Chains A and B, each alone.
Chain A
Amino acid sequence: MLAPVSKAAVSAALIVSLVAGCGRSEPPKDPRQPVLDAYANIVLATYEDTLATARELDVAIDALLAKPSEETLNAARERWRAARIPYAYTEAFRFYGGPIDSETGPEGQLNGWPLDENHIDAVALDKYNAAPGLNIVGDAQSFPEITPELIAAQNEAGGEKNIASGYHAVEFLLWGQDANDPAESAGHRPHTDFIPHSDSPTDVNARRGKYLKAASSLIVSDLDSVAAQWRESKEPNYRTSFVSGDTYTSLKRMFTGIAALAEVEMAGERMNVPLLSSDQEEEQSCFSDLTADELRANQAGITNVYFARYQRRDGTTVSGPSLADLIKAKDARAAEEIEARLKRTSEALAAVKNPFDREILAENTEGRARMQAAIDALRAQALSFSRGARSIEIFLSDLEGLGD
């Protein structure tokens, strides 16, 4: 595995020295460089769209809290669903320690799961709720002011992750727990949960509303901090180091993001784990039952990266030279294989039915077979990314050498 790398390095060094020998003053531009620029443009456009939808969600939450009704609650739910789809696209930009999930990145705060819902809010002691009143919403004495800062701090309370913030916290507050009654339904929290009984600072419904607003504000500011790292900037930010730093490293990051999302996160954590446990609520978006749509959007995000083509929510398209172009130029067979497998995965995911939590039930053999087909397709897709990467001399260490 090491030999080809060093060989490549040697030949690269030779080329550089030969070119330098010709007496050019400028070092030759790496032909792979425009691929990095196109990627950065797509990443930024996707985060900007994600941010815009998060702001719309925040506005809808303001409207709900100003005048709680079935209508304003449903409108906020609709905005939450709309906001999750572009966020799912952005997950193809994870897994390489970029702005979203570097050591200080907000990924855990934005998208943490499973939610510690009993730490946030509980309404009754029953199958789903432990010790009502001993959570942030119910305990006005310990948590007098509910703010984005409090939620951020609580997300790390107990010395460790204690999932209390992000999209799933907002989801839980908008839908409530999914009691599966009727079986196909998601959670159905009544809008009256947001109508304050009184002006008292300890009023639970008012505090629930404050929690919702604080969690939503935190999503917006976290997304903005990530988008800022991808905006064009005169000051050094992540984008400047990504596009003008070492090309090999940046290309490897692009591949790592899409391969890990497919194999580790989607096939592994989000599909295989629920399939294994057959636990109905072992789904990422267990309150809204949006999980299957999110998986399809994850795959769309992967495809966007590979072909360097993203259609924005306003209908315009961001595109440029792509990983697909680089691989096609070196190894047409590898490129064909990737395209075929991307297509197969998209079809397999399209076949997974909503709601996700019914698809994984032990007795639903057809649903489980559809899930398994998508898992297999995702794994094969990750492997072919590794082969394609190798054709342009990018090595995804531990995916190397694996057969199908």
Chain B
Amino acid sequence: MSPRLRLAILMALGGAVFVLGGCSKQNATAELLQFKSGGDMSVTETTRHAFSRPAPNLTVAQRGEFFIGNAFFNSPWVVAPASASARDGLGPLFNARSCDACHNNDGRGRPPAKADEQPVSLVLQFATSTPGDNNEPQADPNYGVNFNPFAIGGIPAEGKVRITHREIKGEYADGTAYTLLAPEYSFEDLAYGELAADTKLSPRVAPSVFGSGLLEAIPEAQIMERNDPDDSNKDGISGRPNQVWDPLVKRAVLGRFGWKLNQPDIAHQTAAAFSSEIGMSTSFRPQQICTAVQTACAAAPQGGEPEISDEIFNHMVNYQRMLGVPMRRDLESPQVKHGAELFLSAGCESCHRATFKTGQIEGQPWLSGQTVHPFTDLLLHDMGEGLADGRADFVASGSEWRTQPLWGIGLQKTVNGHTRFLHDGRARDVSEAILWHAGEAERAKETFRQMSQQDREALLEFIDSL
């Protein structure tokens, strides 16, 4: 065989390998590059209303329902008694007057922009070190389940929270420096005495609400596919579900919502937020949240029993189930495609799972049988000490958090005007959020830190396409 011929054969083989390699890579990343993140519920909107559109697969009648829920989601609840009696009963203690105040444009909240501003869409949850009945977190005896910096006229608000930041310097492997901000919280002007000595604090920003119907519709068995509490496959990732108490069925059920998967479904999540953050009672949570020492709160007029009728409440829950999910953008970009490969090879997808198929949901055909790409596994992971809040939440430990869905993340700046991420909004952009990953995500974070600037940018471009 002449050397030239040998070269030709080698080249041909090399070409074949290259083609095959390209092929298998493409197959592996195909699920990461799907246009319709929400299946038939995907919407083309890319403006600040990108998270607020009704899914395009609703009927005219369902759209009518959507707009009813939408009206109540956006408009403020008012002090009782008021002329608009379907809408009164705000507080007496509260964090916000409307759902939209925190989930602005159905998107994500943020910590205060200025030092002297009280947080609205960042809620400081309280719990004592020992859980109560059914493993449920126990509220602070004086301040309840979370801090309420606002109150209606004549009732003292709970006080003020001051947030300061500790800077943490670091650098990428290529020498590029970065600074992370670790928030620290202190309270001033506390109106109802001291917090209990063993009360733990868990700061949590309001997550976006679009797509939650699809997450609710994922069959439990699919979520359990990646359940691996003892890391038996030795990939360093040991996701596990939360088991939360459902007072309606009186047993522990799979948690799907909340930063620690502490709520089983949209209805419970919505009722909890109404109760502790807006101060409105529902059939799910009929009690006012005033603690024993908050006497003026307990004596204030109520806006009905419950303050939000079941009918209005159901419309609001269905509204969240009907919100569309924004479609992907820039999927033809070579950088985005390269970013998808990096996302996979760095191990991000091990937790930020690309694909699920929803089950058949009775009475909600728009949610049924949809292939969706939320980029979460709906499991808990140990994220390390840096992110830990030390506050257990049912099964979740102080350092465990839910894998946050990434869909829509590239539009958050447009919709919400900020790029704050993680449970307390400490990360100022996506790269900071990645750099905070530790614990089970240490290896993926380290891979990112070791990447060339070009690769880091490609990975961020990919995330931006979500």
- Residues of A bordering B, CB below 8 Å: 1-2, 97, 103, 113-119, 126-131, 134-135, 139, 158-163, 177-178, 263-264, 267-269, 272-273, 276-277, 279, 281-282, 286-287, 375, 379, 383, 397-398, 400-404
Contacts and interface: CB of A to CB of B under 8 A. Distances in A.
Interface stretch (B74-82, B253-261, B370-378, B451-459): B74-82
Contacts of A269: 67-68, 70-71
B85 A281 contact: yes
Given A160-B101, A276-B315, A177 B324 contact: no
A287 B83 CA distance: 9
B81 A129 contact: yes
Contacts of B22: none
Contacts of A383: 60
Given A160-B96, A161-B97, A279-B86, A134 B154 contact: yes
B76 A159 contact: no
A162 B47 contact: no
A276 B96 CA distance: 25
Most buried by B among A2, A269, A287, A403: A269
Contact of A286 (B63, B84, B101, B311): B84
Q: Chain B interface mostly helix, strand, loop or mixed?
A: loop
Contact of A268 (B71, B82, B154): B71
A313 to B, nearest CB: 31
B118 interface: yes
B153 A397 contact: no
A18 B71 CA distance: 49
Given A114-B76, A118-B79, A130-B153, 9 more contacts: A116-B76, A134-B153, A159-B150, A161-B76, A267-B64, A276-B311, A281-B85, A383-B60, A397-B53
Contact of A161 (B47, B48, B101, B117): B101
- What are the nearest 5 A-B pairs in CB distance? A268-B67, A134-B153, A159-B120, A160-B101, A114-B84
B41 to A, nearest CB: 11
Contact of B98 (A161, A263, A282): A161
Given A131-B154, A398-B43, A273 B97 contact: no
Contacts of A163: 76, 78
B301 interface: yes
B76 A162 contact: yes
Interface string B83-98: 1111100000010111
A109 to B, nearest CB: 13
Contacts of A158: 94, 96-97, 150
B388 interface: no
Given A134-B153, A268-B70, A402-B60, A127 B315 contact: no
Contacts, number: 142
24 contacts: A97-B47, A103-B48, A118-B79, A118-B153, A126-B81, A127-B81, A158-B94, A158-B96, A160-B96, A160-B120, A161-B76, A162-B97, A163-B76, A263-B63, A268-B64, A268-B67, A272-B64, A273-B68, A276-B68, A375-B64, A397-B56, A398-B56, A401-B56, A402-B59
Interface in B323-375: 324
A126 B80 CA distance: 11
Contact of B56 (A272, A279, A281, A400): A400
B68 A272 contact: yes
Contact of A128 (B45, B56, B71, B82): B82
B79 A119 contact: yes
Contacts of B55: 398
B118 A159 contact: yes
Nearest to B118: A159
B287 interface: no
Given A379-B64, A398-B43, A159 B101 contact: yes
